[in-house]
Protein backbone atom coordinates (compact mmCIF):
# COMPACT_ATOMS: atom_id res chain seq x y z
CA UNK A 1 0.00 0.00 0.00
CA UNK A 2 1.35 3.42 -0.91
CA UNK A 3 1.33 6.00 1.84
CA UNK A 4 -0.08 8.53 -0.58
CA UNK A 5 -3.19 6.41 -0.99
CA UNK A 6 -4.23 6.81 2.64
CA UNK A 7 -2.70 10.11 3.77
CA UNK A 8 -3.28 13.74 2.85
CA UNK A 9 -0.53 14.96 0.53
CA UNK A 10 0.27 17.87 2.85
CA UNK A 11 1.29 15.56 5.69
CA UNK A 12 4.76 14.05 5.47
CA UNK A 13 5.37 10.90 7.49
CA UNK A 14 8.17 8.68 8.67
CA UNK A 15 6.79 5.23 9.46
CA UNK A 16 8.64 2.69 11.57
CA UNK A 17 7.67 -0.87 12.32
CA UNK A 18 4.19 -0.73 10.76
CA UNK A 19 2.48 -3.70 9.20
CA UNK A 20 0.21 -3.07 6.26
CA UNK A 21 -3.42 -3.97 6.90
CA UNK A 22 -6.44 -3.76 4.61
CA UNK A 23 -8.72 -0.78 5.10
CA UNK A 24 -12.13 -1.43 6.63
CA UNK A 25 -14.87 -1.56 4.04
CA UNK A 26 -18.03 0.52 4.08
CA UNK A 27 -20.05 -2.70 4.38
CA UNK A 28 -18.38 -3.93 7.56
CA UNK A 29 -21.23 -4.04 10.11
CA UNK A 30 -19.49 -6.20 12.72
CA UNK A 31 -20.20 -5.05 16.30
CA UNK A 32 -17.56 -2.92 18.02
CA UNK A 33 -16.69 -3.86 21.57
CA UNK A 34 -17.05 -1.15 24.17
CA UNK A 35 -13.56 -1.58 25.61
CA UNK A 36 -10.46 0.25 24.40
CA UNK A 37 -8.11 -2.33 22.81
CA UNK A 38 -4.91 -0.33 23.33
CA UNK A 39 -2.65 -1.59 26.09
CA UNK A 40 0.01 1.07 25.45
CA UNK A 41 -0.16 4.39 23.61
CA UNK A 42 1.77 7.66 23.75
CA UNK A 43 2.13 10.89 21.82
CA UNK A 44 5.43 12.78 22.00
CA UNK A 45 5.99 16.19 20.43
CA UNK A 46 9.43 16.99 19.00
CA UNK A 47 11.10 20.38 18.84
CA UNK A 48 10.84 20.40 15.03
CA UNK A 49 7.04 20.34 15.20
CA UNK A 50 6.65 16.64 14.44
CA UNK A 51 4.86 14.10 16.63
CA UNK A 52 5.75 10.50 17.43
CA UNK A 53 2.77 8.24 18.10
CA UNK A 54 3.35 4.73 19.44
CA UNK A 55 0.84 2.07 20.39
CA UNK A 56 0.17 -1.58 21.13
CA UNK A 57 -3.25 -3.10 20.60
CA UNK A 58 -3.00 -6.91 20.74
CA UNK A 59 -5.56 -8.72 18.64
CA UNK A 60 -6.54 -5.89 16.30
CA UNK A 61 -5.76 -5.93 12.58
CA UNK A 62 -5.60 -2.24 11.80
CA UNK A 63 -5.18 1.08 13.59
CA UNK A 64 -5.88 4.45 12.00
CA UNK A 65 -4.26 7.55 13.47
CA UNK A 66 -6.37 10.68 12.98
CA UNK A 67 -5.55 14.35 13.56
CA UNK A 68 -7.74 17.37 12.83
CA UNK A 69 -10.40 15.15 11.27
CA UNK A 70 -8.00 13.45 8.85
CA UNK A 71 -6.29 10.08 8.82
CA UNK A 72 -2.56 10.73 9.00
CA UNK A 73 -1.26 7.16 9.39
CA UNK A 74 -2.27 3.53 9.49
CA UNK A 75 -0.65 0.56 11.13
CA UNK A 76 -1.25 -2.85 12.61
CA UNK A 77 -1.58 -4.08 16.17
CA UNK A 78 1.57 -2.24 17.14
CA UNK A 79 3.24 0.70 15.52
CA UNK A 80 5.29 3.83 15.70
CA UNK A 81 4.74 6.78 13.37
CA UNK A 82 6.23 10.23 13.05
CA UNK A 83 3.74 12.77 11.77
CA UNK A 84 4.96 16.02 10.21
CA UNK A 85 3.37 18.99 8.54
CA UNK A 86 0.49 19.66 10.93
CA UNK A 87 -0.47 23.25 11.58
CA UNK A 88 0.77 24.76 14.84
CA UNK A 89 -1.79 24.66 17.63
CA UNK A 90 -2.00 25.06 21.40
CA UNK A 91 -2.15 21.31 21.75
CA UNK A 92 -2.25 18.71 18.99
CA UNK A 93 -4.66 15.84 19.63
CA UNK A 94 -4.61 12.43 17.95
CA UNK A 95 -7.31 9.77 17.84
CA UNK A 96 -6.24 6.15 17.62
CA UNK A 97 -9.02 4.13 16.05
CA UNK A 98 -8.69 0.34 15.83
CA UNK A 99 -10.84 -2.00 13.75
CA UNK A 100 -12.56 -3.10 16.95
CA UNK A 101 -13.25 -1.51 20.31
CA UNK A 102 -13.42 2.14 21.28
CA UNK A 103 -11.04 4.79 20.00
CA UNK A 104 -8.46 6.51 22.20
CA UNK A 105 -7.79 10.27 22.17
CA UNK A 106 -4.33 11.41 23.25
CA UNK A 107 -1.94 14.35 23.13
CA UNK A 108 1.61 14.93 24.30
CA UNK A 109 1.55 14.96 28.09
CA UNK A 110 3.86 17.99 28.34
CA UNK A 111 2.26 21.42 27.89
CA UNK A 112 4.91 23.69 26.36
CA UNK A 113 4.93 27.06 28.12
CA UNK A 114 7.52 29.80 28.37
CA UNK A 115 7.25 30.09 32.15
CA UNK A 116 7.28 26.44 33.27
CA UNK A 117 9.27 23.26 32.62
CA UNK A 118 7.10 20.63 34.31
CA UNK A 119 3.54 21.50 33.29
CA UNK A 120 1.85 18.32 32.13
CA UNK A 121 -1.38 16.44 31.80
CA UNK A 122 -2.24 14.12 34.68
CA UNK A 123 -4.03 11.70 32.37
CA UNK A 124 -3.23 9.46 29.44
CA UNK A 125 -2.51 6.34 31.50
CA UNK A 126 -4.12 2.89 31.38
CA UNK A 127 -5.63 1.36 34.49
CA UNK A 128 -5.14 -2.22 35.59
CA UNK A 129 -8.65 -3.14 34.38
CA UNK A 130 -8.22 -1.66 30.89
CA UNK A 131 -9.69 1.82 31.24
CA UNK A 132 -7.77 4.98 30.33
CA UNK A 133 -7.48 8.21 32.32
CA UNK A 134 -8.88 11.08 30.24
CA UNK A 135 -6.51 13.78 29.12
CA UNK A 136 -7.38 17.46 29.16
CA UNK A 137 -9.18 17.32 32.51
CA UNK A 138 -6.52 17.62 35.21
CA UNK A 139 -3.07 19.17 34.99
CA UNK A 140 0.00 19.32 37.25
CA UNK A 141 2.80 21.87 37.23
CA UNK A 142 5.74 23.61 38.80
CA UNK A 143 5.47 27.24 39.95
CA UNK A 144 3.27 29.60 37.94
CA UNK A 145 4.98 32.87 38.88
CA UNK A 146 6.91 33.09 35.58
CA UNK A 147 3.95 32.55 33.24
CA UNK A 148 3.84 35.01 30.36
CA UNK A 149 0.72 36.62 28.95
CA UNK A 150 0.87 34.15 26.08
CA UNK A 151 1.08 31.30 28.60
CA UNK A 152 -1.95 32.58 30.49
CA UNK A 153 -3.93 32.94 27.27
CA UNK A 154 -3.03 29.36 26.35
CA UNK A 155 -4.20 28.07 29.72
CA UNK A 156 -7.49 29.91 29.29
CA UNK A 157 -7.94 28.21 25.93
CA UNK A 158 -7.15 24.86 27.54
CA UNK A 159 -10.11 25.44 29.86
CA UNK A 160 -8.26 25.64 33.19
CA UNK A 161 -10.72 27.14 35.66
CA UNK A 162 -9.43 25.91 39.04
CA UNK A 163 -5.90 26.28 40.44
CA UNK A 164 -4.65 24.68 43.67
CA UNK A 165 -1.43 26.10 45.11
CA UNK A 166 0.27 23.48 47.29
CA UNK A 167 3.13 25.72 48.39
CA UNK A 168 4.06 27.14 51.79
CA UNK A 169 3.33 30.74 52.73
CA UNK A 170 6.89 31.97 52.16
CA UNK A 171 6.96 30.39 48.71
CA UNK A 172 3.70 32.05 47.80
CA UNK A 173 4.97 35.40 49.06
CA UNK A 174 8.30 35.18 47.23
CA UNK A 175 6.79 33.99 43.93
CA UNK A 176 3.06 34.81 43.70
CA UNK A 177 1.04 32.75 41.26
CA UNK A 178 -0.16 34.07 37.95
CA UNK A 179 -3.43 32.36 37.09
CA UNK A 180 -5.62 32.45 33.98
CA UNK A 181 -8.36 35.07 33.97
CA UNK A 182 -11.57 33.65 35.41
CA UNK A 183 -9.85 30.78 37.23
CA UNK A 184 -10.51 30.14 40.92
CA UNK A 185 -7.32 30.20 42.99
CA UNK A 186 -7.17 28.10 46.18
CA UNK A 187 -4.33 27.73 48.67
CA UNK A 188 -3.82 24.11 49.75
CA UNK A 189 -0.62 24.31 51.81
CA UNK A 190 0.59 20.72 52.16
CA UNK A 191 3.26 21.49 54.76
CA UNK A 192 1.21 23.95 56.84
CA UNK A 193 2.20 23.55 60.48
CA UNK A 194 4.59 20.69 59.80
CA UNK A 195 7.98 22.36 60.19
CA UNK A 196 9.23 20.65 57.03
CA UNK A 197 12.07 22.29 55.09
CA UNK A 198 12.76 24.95 57.71
CA UNK A 199 16.53 24.29 57.56
CA UNK A 200 19.03 22.99 55.04
CA UNK A 201 20.55 19.50 55.40
CA UNK A 202 24.28 19.21 56.08
CA UNK A 203 25.04 16.07 54.06
CA UNK A 204 23.62 14.11 51.10
CA UNK A 205 22.36 11.40 53.48
CA UNK A 206 20.57 13.98 55.58
CA UNK A 207 19.05 15.45 52.44
CA UNK A 208 17.73 12.04 51.38
CA UNK A 209 16.24 11.45 54.84
CA UNK A 210 14.61 14.86 54.67
CA UNK A 211 12.91 13.96 51.39
CA UNK A 212 11.77 10.56 52.70
CA UNK A 213 10.36 12.14 55.86
CA UNK A 214 8.67 14.89 53.84
CA UNK A 215 6.88 12.24 51.78
CA UNK A 216 5.56 10.68 54.97
CA UNK A 217 4.32 14.09 56.09
CA UNK A 218 2.45 14.43 52.80
CA UNK A 219 0.49 11.34 53.76
CA UNK A 220 -0.17 11.72 57.49
CA UNK A 221 0.50 15.37 58.33
CA UNK A 222 -2.53 17.41 59.37
CA UNK A 223 -1.77 20.17 56.86
CA UNK A 224 -1.33 17.63 54.10
CA UNK A 225 -4.63 15.92 54.85
CA UNK A 226 -6.47 19.26 54.78
CA UNK A 227 -4.70 20.29 51.57
CA UNK A 228 -5.29 17.08 49.65
CA UNK A 229 -8.90 16.99 50.80
CA UNK A 230 -9.34 20.33 49.01
CA UNK A 231 -7.59 19.01 45.92
CA UNK A 232 -9.68 15.82 45.75
CA UNK A 233 -12.80 17.93 46.19
CA UNK A 234 -11.62 19.82 43.14
CA UNK A 235 -11.17 16.58 41.21
CA UNK A 236 -14.73 15.51 41.95
CA UNK A 237 -16.26 18.91 41.18
CA UNK A 238 -14.97 20.07 37.78
CA UNK A 239 -18.18 21.62 36.48
CA UNK A 240 -16.26 24.86 35.88
CA UNK A 241 -13.57 23.31 33.67
CA UNK A 242 -10.15 21.71 34.03
CA UNK A 243 -8.22 21.57 37.32
CA UNK A 244 -4.55 22.47 37.85
CA UNK A 245 -2.50 21.76 40.98
CA UNK A 246 1.12 22.74 41.52
CA UNK A 247 3.95 23.39 43.95
CA UNK A 248 7.36 24.98 43.31
CA UNK A 249 9.14 22.30 41.28
CA UNK A 250 6.04 20.27 40.44
CA UNK A 251 7.62 17.07 41.68
CA UNK A 252 7.08 16.35 45.41
CA UNK A 253 3.82 17.75 46.76
CA UNK A 254 2.50 17.75 43.20
CA UNK A 255 4.03 14.33 42.61
CA UNK A 256 2.24 12.82 45.59
CA UNK A 257 -1.03 14.44 44.59
CA UNK A 258 -0.88 12.87 41.15
CA UNK A 259 0.33 9.54 42.51
CA UNK A 260 -2.67 9.45 44.86
CA UNK A 261 -5.07 10.39 42.06
CA UNK A 262 -3.73 7.79 39.63
CA UNK A 263 -3.71 5.09 42.32
CA UNK A 264 -7.30 5.95 43.25
CA UNK A 265 -8.28 5.56 39.59
CA UNK A 266 -6.67 2.11 39.39
CA UNK A 267 -3.45 2.88 37.53
CA UNK A 268 -0.78 0.23 38.30
CA UNK A 269 2.00 1.14 40.72
CA UNK A 270 4.78 0.84 38.15
CA UNK A 271 2.99 3.35 35.90
CA UNK A 272 2.42 5.67 38.86
CA UNK A 273 6.13 5.45 39.66
CA UNK A 274 7.11 6.18 36.05
CA UNK A 275 4.91 9.29 36.05
CA UNK A 276 6.47 10.41 39.33
CA UNK A 277 10.04 9.85 38.10
CA UNK A 278 9.35 11.71 34.84
CA UNK A 279 10.00 14.97 36.71
CA UNK A 280 13.70 14.05 36.59
CA UNK A 281 13.51 14.21 32.80
CA UNK A 282 11.35 17.31 32.51
CA UNK A 283 13.40 19.19 35.10
CA UNK A 284 16.84 17.95 34.00
CA UNK A 285 18.01 21.17 32.36
CA UNK A 286 16.68 23.43 35.11
CA UNK A 287 18.23 21.26 37.81
CA UNK A 288 21.58 21.16 36.02
CA UNK A 289 21.60 24.95 35.87
CA UNK A 290 21.18 25.09 39.63
CA UNK A 291 23.79 22.46 40.44
CA UNK A 292 26.49 23.79 38.11
CA UNK A 293 26.42 27.14 39.92
CA UNK A 294 27.05 25.55 43.32
CA UNK A 295 30.35 24.40 44.85
CA UNK A 296 30.71 20.60 44.45
CA UNK A 297 30.18 19.86 48.15
CA UNK A 298 27.03 21.95 48.29
CA UNK A 299 25.79 20.54 44.97
CA UNK A 300 26.10 17.00 46.36
CA UNK A 301 23.90 17.98 49.31
CA UNK A 302 21.40 19.84 47.14
CA UNK A 303 20.98 17.17 44.46
CA UNK A 304 18.77 14.83 46.56
CA UNK A 305 16.45 17.79 47.13
CA UNK A 306 16.13 18.38 43.38
CA UNK A 307 15.65 14.72 42.46
CA UNK A 308 12.65 12.49 42.61
CA UNK A 309 13.63 8.95 43.59
CA UNK A 310 11.72 5.69 44.01
CA UNK A 311 12.49 5.59 47.72
CA UNK A 312 10.79 8.95 48.19
CA UNK A 313 7.47 7.91 46.67
CA UNK A 314 7.66 4.44 48.21
CA UNK A 315 7.98 6.00 51.65
CA UNK A 316 4.61 7.66 51.08
CA UNK A 317 2.93 4.39 50.20
CA UNK A 318 4.67 2.70 53.15
CA UNK A 319 3.29 5.45 55.39
CA UNK A 320 -0.21 4.66 54.13
CA UNK A 321 0.22 1.00 55.07
CA UNK A 322 1.62 1.90 58.49
CA UNK A 323 -0.92 4.58 59.36
CA UNK A 324 -4.09 3.59 57.49
CA UNK A 325 -3.66 -0.05 56.57
CA UNK A 326 -4.90 0.35 53.00
CA UNK A 327 -5.08 2.94 50.25
CA UNK A 328 -8.88 2.90 50.37
CA UNK A 329 -8.83 3.78 54.06
CA UNK A 330 -6.32 6.56 53.33
CA UNK A 331 -8.68 8.05 50.73
CA UNK A 332 -11.60 7.93 53.15
CA UNK A 333 -9.85 9.08 56.33
CA UNK A 334 -7.21 11.48 54.97
CA UNK A 335 -8.85 13.00 51.88
CA UNK A 336 -12.53 12.47 52.75
CA UNK A 337 -13.24 10.55 49.53
CA UNK A 338 -16.07 8.09 50.09
CA UNK A 339 -16.59 4.94 48.04
CA UNK A 340 -19.49 6.61 46.25
CA UNK A 341 -17.37 9.68 45.45
CA UNK A 342 -14.59 7.43 44.17
CA UNK A 343 -17.04 5.65 41.86
CA UNK A 344 -18.21 9.02 40.56
CA UNK A 345 -14.63 10.16 40.05
CA UNK A 346 -13.90 7.07 38.01
CA UNK A 347 -17.02 7.60 35.91
CA UNK A 348 -15.92 11.15 35.16
CA UNK A 349 -12.22 10.58 34.53
CA UNK A 350 -12.01 7.12 32.97
CA UNK A 351 -12.93 6.01 29.47
CA UNK A 352 -13.29 2.51 28.11
User: DSSP 3-state assignment of 193?
Assistant: coil
Report how far apart, in Å, the C-alpha atoms of 38 and of each of 71, 81, 95, 106, 130 are: 18, 16, 12, 12, 8
pLDDT confidence of residue 194: 86
pLDDT class for 345, splitting at 50, 70, 90?
A: very high
Q: Write out the H or E segment, with its range, that includes residue 168.
A: none
Q: What is the DSSP string of 16-79?
A: ES----PPPPTT--PPPPSS---SEEEEEE-TTS-EEEEEE-TT-S-EEEEETTEEEEEESSEE
pLDDT one-digit tens code per residue, 114-167: 999 999 999 999 999 999 999 999 999 999 999 999 999 999 999 999 999 999
Quote the pTM value. Answer: 0.89
For the cut 90, the answer to whether the pLDDT of residue 108 exceeds it is: yes
- Averaged over 283-302, what is the pLDDT? 97
pLDDT confidence of residue 316: 98
pLDDT class for 24, splitting at 50, 70, 90?
A: very low
Please give the residue that has the higher pLDDT: either 204 or 6.
Answer: 204
**Burial zone of 109 (CB within 10 Å; 0-12 exposed, 13-18 middle, 19+ buried):** buried
For the cut 80, the answer to whether the pLDDT of residue 22 exceeds it is: no
Report how far apart, in Å, the C-alpha atoms of 239 and of each of 22, 105, 168, 187, 351 are: 42, 21, 28, 19, 18
CATH number of 3-25+32-108: 2.60.40
CATH topology for 126-351?
Answer: 3.90.190
Q: Which residues pair with 78 in a beta bridge?
A: 56
The structural domains of the chain, with segments of one domain joined by +, span 3-25+32-108, 126-351
Amino acid sequence: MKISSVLPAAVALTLTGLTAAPAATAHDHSPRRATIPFTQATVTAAEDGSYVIEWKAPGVRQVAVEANGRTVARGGSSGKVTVRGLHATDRQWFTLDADRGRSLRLADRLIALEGTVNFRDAGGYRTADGHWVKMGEIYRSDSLDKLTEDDLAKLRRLGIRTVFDLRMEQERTDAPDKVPAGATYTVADVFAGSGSFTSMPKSPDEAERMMVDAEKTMVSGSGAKAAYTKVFDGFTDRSGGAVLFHCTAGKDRTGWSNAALLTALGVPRDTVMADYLASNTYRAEANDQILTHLPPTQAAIYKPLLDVRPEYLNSGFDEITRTYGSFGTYLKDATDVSKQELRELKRELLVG
